[in-house]
Amino acid sequence: MAMDISQPPGASTPMSRQLETAFSKIGVTGAHKKILALVLIGCLFDSFEQNTIGVAGPLLRQHWGLTGADIGLLNTITFGSAAIGRLMSGILGDRYGRRVMLTINLLLFSIGSAACALAPDFFTLCIARAIVGFGVGGEISTAVTMLSEFCSSKFRGTAAGLVNVGAGGFGNFLAPAFGLLIFTLFPGEDSWRWLFAALAVPALLAVFYRRYVPETPRFLASRNRFDEANKVLSILASGSLRPRNLVVHPYLTADATQAPVKSDWRELFRQPFLGRTIPVAIAILMSYGAQLSVLTLMPLIFVSMGYTLQGSLLYSMIIQSGSVLGAIAASTLGYYLPRKLVLTVGAALACIAAVSIAYLGSNIYMVLLFGAIFQFFVLLLNTSIWIYAPELFPTRIRAFGVALILATGSAAGSFVPLISGMLFDKYGMVGVFSLAAAMYAVFVLCIQMGPETYGRSMEDITQPAETDVPAAEPLADPLAQPAKAARA
C-alpha cells in the first residue's frame, strides 16, 4: 500500500483545470521539439562529463599512481557536490523560476570542466570536480522539472524521459567513443586534460541557444502571472519559439486567479509529500549507486582482464549500447504504462542481470552480453524515475521535490562507487555486481510504497488530469504529431 495521505479537497483549482485543458488542446508542436532539443544539448554534455572519470580513470591511475579507491573518491566529490547543487537549484528554481537556473547550472559545469583540464595535481582536480558537480546536479533536475511542465499529462512522461535518452542513453553510450576520439587526436600523458577541455566548449554554445527557451506556463501561472503564461502557451501553440505576429490566446482567464502560494521547501517534509519522497528517494539511491559504480569501474575491470585502454573503452561502449535502448524504452513506456509497473518489473530484471554478470560472466562475450542487458534495465529505471518524480509534487514545490529525490541519487554517487572500488580491489568483478544486485532488490521493495501518478493531475494526484478538450489522437511517435493549421 502506498505511503500517502490524500491532499485536501479543492486542491484541483480552476487554474490547474484550465492549464490541463490548455495543454491538451495545444498538443505537441514544433516549439516543444525545439525546447527539447535545446535542453538535451546541455544534458548530453553533462552525461559526457559524468563519465569522464571512468573514461580517464586508467590514465589518471597511470599518470598519478591513483588507486581504485582514489578514482572512487573523485566520484564521491563530484556527486556529493551534485547533491548539494541539486538542492540549491531546486529551492531557487521554485522561487525564481526554472529558466534562470538552467543557464546558471550549465555555466558552472563549463567552468568546472575547464578547471579540471588545468588541474596541476590530484587535490586541485578534486576541487574542480566539486565545481562540476554543482553544475551537473542542478542541470538535470531543472531540465526534468521544466520539460514536464511544458507538456500535457499524456506527453509529459515522454518529454521528461527524453532527457535521459540524451543524457543517460546516448550520453553514456557515446562517452567512451568521445574519449577514444580525444585520446586519438591528442595522444600522450596529458590526453585526459584535452578530454575535460573539450567538454567545456560545447556547453557554452548551449548557454547561448538557451536564451530562446521561455519560462514554463505552470510556474508563471502559480505566480498569477497570467499574461506571461498565456503568451508562452500561445508560443507553444504557434509551433515556433520566435513566432511572427503572435496572437496571444486567453487560455487562462481571470476566474483562475488564486491567492499566490509561496514556495516553502519545508512542506516537502510534511504529509502527504513525505510519504512519497522517502521511498522514491531510497529507490533512486539504490539505482544511481549501482549504475555509477559500474560506469566508473567498467574500464578498470576490462583493463584488469588484460585488455588495453582502447579495448576497454570499446567494450564499455558496447555495454553502454543497452543504455540507449533502455532510455528510449522508458520514454516510450512513459506514454502508455503506469509508472510503478515499469519501475517494479525493471528493477527485478536489473537484479537478475547483475547476478548473471557476477556469476556467469566467465568470458568477455558473456560479460558484454549481460552487461548490455544490465545497462538496458538501469537506464529504463533511471529514466522512469525522472518521469515519475515531477508528478509527485505540485508546482509550488516541484523543483525542490525533484531536486531532493535526484540529489539522493547523486549522494549515492558520492559513496557507493567508493565502496565498489574497495570491493573491486578485494573481490574483483563479482564484488561489484553482487552489490548492484542487492541494491536493485531493495529498489523493488521501496517503489511499492510510492503512489501511482500516471494520468493524474500535476497539482493533485488524487484527481485525474482534465480532459475537457480532447487532445489530438496520439501517433506511434508522440513527437510526430502534426502542427495545427493555425500555427505560424
Q: What is the pLDDT of residue 258?
A: 59
- DSSP H or E stretch at residue 436: helix 429-447
Three-state secondary-structure class, residue 456: strand
The dihedral sign for the CA sequence 70, 52, 412, 133: positive
By CB neighbour count within 10 A (0-12 exposed, 13-18 middle, 19+ buried), where does 248 fall?
middle
Q: Give, in order, the Cα–Cα distances in Å from 309 to each of 16, 53, 55, 191, 305.
A: 54, 14, 9, 13, 11
106, 207 contact by CB (below 8 A): yes
Whats the size of the chain, residue-wise? 488
244, 214 contact by CB (below 8 A): no
Q: What is the pLDDT of residue 214?
A: 92
Three-state secondary-structure class, residue 464: strand
Q: What is the pLDDT of residue 279?
A: 93
In 3D space, the residue among 447, 185, 177, 144 whose CA is nearest the CA of residue 316 turns out to be 177
> How do the pLDDT tens digits run along the chain, 488 residues long?
344 433 443 356 778 888 888 998 998 999 999 998 888 877 777 777 777 777 787 788 877 877 777 877 887 788 788 888 888 888 899 988 898 888 888 888 888 889 998 998 889 999 999 998 888 888 888 888 888 899 888 888 888 888 777 776 677 677 777 888 888 888 877 888 898 888 887 767 766 767 788 999 999 988 888 899 999 999 999 999 888 889 999 998 866 565 555 667 788 888 889 999 999 999 999 998 888 787 777 777 787 777 776 777 777 778 877 888 888 899 899 888 999 999 999 999 999 999 998 888 778 888 888 888 998 999 899 889 989 999 999 988 999 999 899 888 777 866 787 788 888 888 888 888 899 999 999 999 999 999 999 988 888 888 887 544 443 333 334 444 433 433 33
258, 12 contact by CB (below 8 A): no
Can you tell me which residue has the cell 573514461? 55
Quick one: cell of 108?
A: 558552472
Q: Give, in order, the Cα–Cα distances in Å from 17 to each of 13, 160, 226.
A: 6, 21, 14
Q: What is the pLDDT of residue 449?
A: 92
Q: What is the DSSP string of 78-97?
A: HHHHHHHHHHHHHHHHHHH-
Query: Max Cα separation, the chain?
Result: 70
Q: Give, in order, the Cα–Cα distances in Å from 203 to each of 43, 73, 169, 209, 451.
A: 9, 25, 18, 10, 36
